[in-house]
Structure 1
């Protein structure tokens, strides 16, 4: 298949590079300032068995218009951060009629809605990337935990795409309930993510401390309340028994739930610190908390549902990322953070 991959960061390089190695024709779009290094170094992928693969035979363009001059594509991978989705859509306005169906590899639950409003629902295929990867120097990608990739099944291209993903050893799983899949993946992303960044604590420390652990449980219960209000059911995603985890969070004593949460976080991130922590301490002024806890808050507001812990995490981390609040304000101080719950 001929595939357009918008973004050659960790996720784009991993999935696009794997599909290229499997015999597909993958064309990347990347910022012009990064194209030279990408062409020079190619993409290195270290698979779960420790073998390293060098992907070099691909084209790279600085924008979609240039790429589409080389012919039509079967589908496009959207592998950019959620805060870049709207600017991407603006850049594609003139190409709307000829742009291929897209797979949104992004975290959060709002990107598909934005893309569908632009391209139409039938041309937007929801995807949840559950495999844990890390990115080293010179675009070197390492598979930390090969869990798989969920793909919405109710689209004409779904089975064909899943077959190509399987050939590329990406472990696809077709999932009928696309919305449930995206919200379930977001639940796994919420675990000890914002709290780790705000408190400068590891996930293990978050779950060990009684106060921060209770905040995590409240965050998840609030999210499940919002899902219930919209009729969204948790679904199991590749490698994570989300339905069991959600049942436990809602109905079991917190001391029983703790091992399940620890296992979900450990298997999901492969030992890495959470993404919000990495972004904050790398000095990035944008944070995807906007599209995780922030999304929970926006959906909750429409239904009049209180979500105080999600609001606390969202507000605090956005202020830290934007430089309005010192990163050390709640350093290893969950009790002080909990005082901010309205």
Structure 2
């Protein structure tokens, strides 16, 4: 197969490297420094005792990937969710007849944009649970071998995704097939909510949040809202490779909070390792966009559509976006959860249990 990896960061290089290793013709679109190193020295993937060295083609733009009439059988979209609009503009300019696309963004909402523009038959929803660390511009370490990828069709009937599931499995990437793309994407999104926006706003590692009842309860309130929105929307929570989202949902909805606190704290701590979550990393680097819109913001937006109040997710979304835009001083929230708690109380009092869509999400 001729495979294009568009937005080849850690995830894209992992997928591309594995596919190249079993003989697929792979082209990566990535930053110039990484492209030069990969073309010169190869791409390295480290997993346990295994160290793979592959030699995919590496370029720096979609235009360059299409030189000399190059064509592809499938395109993996591996950029951040907030880059999808820019990506669609580039596709419109250089690759209007783009073939099948497999999305690998975190959060929800990117698939619907692509379907509206290109049709459901050209889009497969994907998600990945494998944590990958960056060792260098052309070297990556797969931290958990028990994780993997999930794929789901965007068409309810007539879209056979088994060849792509098989392709990834044959490349050594554990891949499952799910019928409902919403279950796939929302189940992963709920997992991504844990220790992300709260951690970014308070500038504290998720492990710290789950040690203290105040921030732990805030996190559980946030997840409960997301699960209520899913149930009202008819979206089933499912387990993903190596990540028991359905079991988490059962615990949150059925068991006393104190009973599963130690387990959840361990899960969150192990999932993040020593790294801060992506929302905090983007905020600390001064980036003007944040994927919170596709996570907590998506919960708020869907909640407004189905009539489920989401005060915690609303406050987290609005606060983080204000920090991104530098409309509030990030330092004032540093280790001070009481500010968030007070904001949520105020929002609940003002909204009186009604769903309210923030201006950023309308």
Match of 2:185 in 1: 182
Q: Which ranges of structure 1 fall in alignment gaps of 5 or more residues?
A: none
For residues 1-342 of structure 1, the aligned pairs below 5 Å read 1-30=1-30, 35-47=35-47, 49-64=48-63, 66-67=65-66, 69-93=68-92, 98-146=97-145, 147-152=147-152, 156-341=159-344, 342=347
1:318, 1:41 → 2: CA distance? 40
1:68 CA displacement: 6.8
With over 3 angstroms needed to count, the CA separation of the structure-2 counterparts of 1:4 and 1:44, relative to structure 1, is: same
Unmatched tracts of structure 2, length 5 or more: 348-362
Q: Is the 8 A contact 1:145 1:268 kept in 2?
A: no
Query: Residue by residue, what CA displacement relative to the aligned partner does 1:202-246 show, whole Å, maximum 9, x if unpaired?
Result: 212111111111110110011111112211110111111111110
Shift, 1:288, TM fit? 1.0
Q: Which has the higher contact order (CA 8 A, sep 6+)?
A: 1
Q: Give the Cα–Cα distance (whole angstroms) in 2 for the partners of residues 246 and 280 of structure 1.
A: 29
The total of aligned residue pairs comes to 341
Please state whether the residue corresponding to 1:265 is helix, strand or coil. helix
Q: Distance in 2 between matches of 1:24 and 1:15?
A: 11
Distance in 2 (CA, whole Å) between partners of 1:328 and 1:61 is: 37
TM-score scaled to structure 2, two decimals? 0.87
User: Any idea what the Cα deviations from partners look like across 1:90-112, whole Å, max 9, x if unmatched?
Assistant: 22225666211111000111011
Whether the aligned pair in 1 keeps the contact of 2:16 and 2:56 (CA below 8 Å) is: no
Residues 197 and 276 in structure 1, CA contact (< 8 A), matched pair in contact too: yes
TM-score by length of 1: 0.92
Assess, with a 3 A threshold, how the Cα gap between structure 1 residues 271 and 151 changes in structure 2: closer, same or farther. Answer: farther
Asked if the contact 1:3–1:76 (Cα under 8 Å) also holds between the matched residues in 2, the reply is yes
Is the CA contact (8 Å cut-off) linking 1:223 and 1:296 kept in structure 2? yes
Aligned to 2:183, what secondary structure does the other structure show?
Answer: helix
Q: Distance in 2 between matches of 1:68 and 1:297?
A: 43
SS in 1 for 2:15: helix
Q: Bigger CA drift: 93-102 or 73-82?
A: 93-102
